[in-house]
Chain A
Amino acid sequence: MYDIPHPTQETAVTDVKIKAKDVQVYYGDNHAIKDVSVEIENNTVTAFIGPSGCGKSTFLRCLNRMNDTIDICRVEGDILIDGDDIYDKRVDPVQLRAKVGMVFQKPNPFPKSIYDNIAYGPRIHGMARNKAELDDIVERALRRGAIWEEVKDRLQAPGTGLSGGQQQRLCIARAVATEPEVLLMDEPCSALDPIATAQVEELIDELRQNYAVVIVTHSMQQAARVSQKTAFFHLGNLVEYDDTSKIFTNPEDSRTESYITGRIG
């Protein structure tokens, strides 16, 4: 059914970047994530799929402790990045988020210039010693975000004035500007039209060379197109986690099959 040939489908020998073990997430009394254990590999696009409210975004937001900002949210279990427990008391979430970049569902550029959007992260992390270095970082990030050619002549124009697809690529460029090691994407294409989506997907595939990419998506086609590994979430449980080709052609669990064939969700 999803026999889309993909040149990068075969998984190379990779090391584990993120290791989650028995993760539980509670929103107040609501048990949102139950016993999720997953190993996310480096230089791989991992897709989280599942029906609305299944907890895939919640789990994604655990990986850079974005859930800390929600008072009633409580996370149990271990999440290790490069062997370090990110919920360890000594870990500063600010440092963690510089290492684990995030792209959100709705493009959310700062209401500042394109240049300042990119330069903000490197500035607060002191990554550039002078203006020239900062210029280099901005250009590199914009090139990596595949938007340099479109905006190089108007870096001082407001980022909010770009089109939706450009804004999202700007946000991706902003996320990679701080040189993260992991890139989390929460439905990055849900607000974009098909052409912009195609551009962003192409970009995601390129980003895989340098980062571990985790993408939450509602579109199974998208998951099949961009990812090498796919995790299927249902009602807070991780139902199945395997190579994307296996999930979409020969799922083990009947719920996965029902979902990808459109019978549930």
Chain B
Amino acid sequence: MTDASMDSAPMKGRLTTVDARTKKRNAAEKRFKAYGIVAILIGIFFLVVLTVSILRSGIPAFTQAEMRLEFVLTQEEFDAAESQVLKTKAYEAIFINKLSTALTEKGISVDFNAAAIERLLGKPGSTIREYFRANPDQIGQPVTFSLPASSRVDGYFKGRISRDTVVDSRFFEATDLDLVDALADAGIIVRNFNWNFITGSDSGVDNPGGAGIGVSVIGSFFMMLVVLALSLPIGVAASIYLEEFAPQNWFTDLIEVNISNLAAVPSIVFGILGLAVFIQFMHLPQSAPLVGGLVLTLMTLPTIIISTRASLKAVPPSIREAALGVGASKMQTVFHHVLPLAAPGILTGTIIGLAQALGETAPLLLIGMVGFIARAYPEGVVSGFIDPNSAMPAQIYTWAARADAGFYEKAWGGIIILLIFLLTMNIIAIILRRRFERRW
């Protein structure tokens, strides 16, 4: 009896007064909302930190200090230089001569020698010689040369090196900074947008200024072509068979479990599999985007199969019944009705799978797409598939492992470019989903 009266007691209260139990429930709800908001804020905080640090470290990679000098090379100077034994040295002497003339014209006097120019620019002689040998008609015409400054000079402009921290070495001396300042005042050393970083190829380990990610973007592109061409048809066909046609028995269950497991296999395992099967057994070329694409296909397939099966499952059975009911065969049902309705999900899954593959580095380590200098653009489609190349994440990894501090910012800059590609792909996925999403 007491129980009953206790149970019913709070119910007797006025509606305008909140009883203790309701208060507790409301408080719990408020607390839960607060937890959620805190979790989201933490997430946003890390995202902002990540974005800011990437941008801060990476943006400098998009500019490059370069020495810009316009001068005229006369036919006599060209002939004289070509008759020398050390031809590039002769051109270097000409360049230094022209540089001091330019400085004198601007009324700036500063002491420098050939060694200082080499520390600032590397060896300009060969660039100049190659240019005039390739374009003999330019002899006697005013020509502007833009030569990338060395990593130390670039670092000085970007605040990586200051007068206090510079250490004399065979690469750089503190007195060179006076020359750099003078040249900057004269407008000969300028900081420009570095197109070469986006379009160019990788450079040697001592020349971060000349390094570009363009060639490895091409490598990634050919790899993605392979991945798309293989994983989409194979993945979709496998999912349709498993979802719509396969009998339910222990064998299909086994396949299903294994596909889910494959999705969780570390990517480096696929890399070593690719090394063993594609390179050592099938003798496909090393470091080739073709092999990289094959390995990434193996890695992407489970993702595509799982998302495709999920979107096939999401098509309501009433649509299948409707089609079967008017006498459509199983295949007609799938291809006329189920597949079009599942298409947005399949597309989204595929693009996300591709984006995942685009950012994958570990398997590329093992098939040799990392650690060499990706210098040459492919010469054509076939060459694009089978000639050694790097890929964007592999290139970033290579740069990050190099000693020169100039490569550090290149790695971050490469990450920005990679992220731009990934964001673009994800946005395309979202747009496709929005556009093709249909209600039934």
Chain A positions within 8 Å of B, measured between CB atoms, are 64, 66, 69, 71, 94-95, 97-98, 101-104, 106, 108-111, 120-121, 124-125, 160, 171, 174-175, 177-178
Contact = CB atoms under 8 A, between A and B. Distances in A.
Contacts of A171: 322
B328 A111 contact: no
A94 B332 CA distance: 11
A111 B439 contact: yes
Most buried by A among B327, B332, B337: B327
Given A160-B439, A160-B440, A104 B321 contact: yes
B: contact size bracket: 20 to 34
A94 B322 contact: no
Contacts of B26: none
B325 A66 contact: yes
Contacts of B326: 97-98, 101, 120-121, 124, 174-175, 177-178
Contacts of A175: 325-326
Given A106-B318, A110-B319, A120-B336, A101 B438 contact: no
B325 A94 contact: no
B319 A124 contact: no
B321 A108 contact: yes
Given A97-B325, A104-B321, A110-B322, A71 B337 contact: no
Contacts of A121: 326-328
Interface string B291-323: 000000000000000000000000010111111
- From DSSP, what is the main secondary structure of chain B's interface residues? helix
Given A108-B321, A111-B440, A94 B337 contact: no
20 contacts: A69-B324, A94-B329, A101-B325, A104-B321, A108-B318, A110-B322, A110-B337, A111-B319, A111-B341, A111-B438, A120-B326, A120-B328, A120-B336, A121-B326, A121-B327, A124-B328, A124-B332, A125-B327, A175-B325, A178-B327
B327 A95 contact: yes
Contacts, number: 66
Interface in B242-275: 247-248
A108 B323 CA distance: 10
Contacts of B325: 64, 66, 97, 101-104, 175
A47 B120 CA distance: 96
A109 B327 contact: no
B318 A104 contact: yes
A160 B329 CA distance: 23
A198 to B, nearest CB: 24
Contacts of B247: 71
Contacts of A102: 321, 325
A102 B247 CA distance: 25
A77 B323 CA distance: 27
A125 B326 CA distance: 9
Contact of B327 (A69, A98, A106): A98
A185 to B, nearest CB: 11
Interface in B314-361: 316, 318-329, 332, 336-337, 341
Can you list the 7 inter-chain pairs with the closest CB atoms, starting with the nearest?
Answer: A98-B327, A121-B326, A108-B318, A102-B325, A97-B327, A108-B322, A111-B440
Contacts of A177: 326
Contacts of B438: 111
Nearest to A68: B324
Nearest to B327: A98
Given A97-B325, A175-B325, 8 more contacts: A66-B321, A71-B248, A94-B329, A101-B325, A108-B316, A108-B318, A110-B319, A120-B323
A94 B327 contact: yes
Contacts of B327: 94-95, 97-98, 121, 124-125, 178
B328 A94 contact: yes
Nearest to B341: A111
A71 B252 CA distance: 13
Most buried by B among A64, A66, A97, A125: A97
B99 to A, nearest CB: 72
Nearest to A69: B324
Contacts of B322: 104, 108-110, 171, 174
Most buried by B among A69, A95, A101: A69
B399 to A, nearest CB: 50
Contacts of A95: 327
Most buried by A among B247, B323, B326: B326
